[in-house]
Amino acid sequence: MIKEKVQNALNKVRPSLQADGGDVQLVDVDAQGVVKVKLTGACGGCPMSQMTLKMGIEKVLKQQVPEVTRVESV
């Protein structure tokens, strides 16, 4: 259930990442609310990817899915 909510929230973030040539894939959501994602395309090697992860993806996920405690890149 949480995984589905997270996927829906990621779908809202995805267009802005794709506009810059990148994307995000959901890898896992654990019982503690830690979301693991993989940044792909241009986002995979971008020096700003950690900022995108924390200030963009994590912020949106926490707003949309209150069960999310943090987001990690794998």
Domain boundaries, the chain: 2-68
Q: With H, G, I as helix, E, B as strand and everything else as coil, classify residue 66.
A: coil
Does the pTM surpass 0.75? The reply is yes
2-68 is classed in which CATH architecture?
2-Layer Sandwich (3.30)
Kindly report, residue by residue over 8-59, the tens digit of the pLDDT: 999 999 999 999 899 999 999 999 999 999 999 998 888 888 888 898 999 9
Sheet holding 22-29, edge to edge: 22-29, 34-41, 70-73
Q: With H, G, I as helix, E, B as strand and everything else as coil, classify residue 33.
A: coil
